[in-house]
Structure 1
Amino acid sequence: MNLSIEYNIIIAYVVGLFLLYILGWLLVVPRKFLLRLILNGIFGAVILNFLDIAGKSFGLYVGINPVTALIAGFLGIPGIILLIILQYIV
Structure 2
Amino acid sequence: MLLPGFLSFVIGIIIIAFIVWLFGKSVKILFKFVLNSIIGYVFLLIFNFFGSIFGLTLQINLINAFIAGVFGIPGIIVLLVLKYIFKIVI
The answer to whether the 8 Å contact 1:48/1:64 transfers is yes
The answer to whether the 8 Å contact 2:41/2:60 transfers is no
Alignment partner of 1:84 is 2:64: no
Structure (1 or 2) with the larger CA radius of gyration: 1
Give the share of equivalent positions with the same residue, in percent. Answer: 42
* Cα distance, 1:42–1:79 mapped onto 2, change above 3 Å: same
CA shift, 1:82, in A, is: 2.2
- Find 1:46's aligned residue among 42, 49, 54: 42
For residues 47-71 of structure 1, give each alpha carbon's deviation from its aligned partner in whole angstroms, at most 9, with x where no partner exists: 0011111101123221224543454
Would you say how many aligned residue pairs link Structure 1 and Structure 2?
Answer: 62
Q: So what's the TM-score if we normalise by structure 1? A: 0.53
Structure 2 stretches of 5 or more lacking a match? 1-23
RMSD of the alignment, in Å? 2.5
Question: Comparing 34-43 with 77-86, which one deviates more in the overlay?
Answer: 77-86
Q: So what's the TM-score if we normalise by structure 2? A: 0.53
The answer to whether the 8 Å contact 2:36/2:66 transfers is no
Partner Cα separation in structure 1 for residue 62 and residue 27 of structure 2: 24
Alignment partner of 1:32 is 2:32: no
- Find 2:60's aligned residue among 60, 64, 67: 64
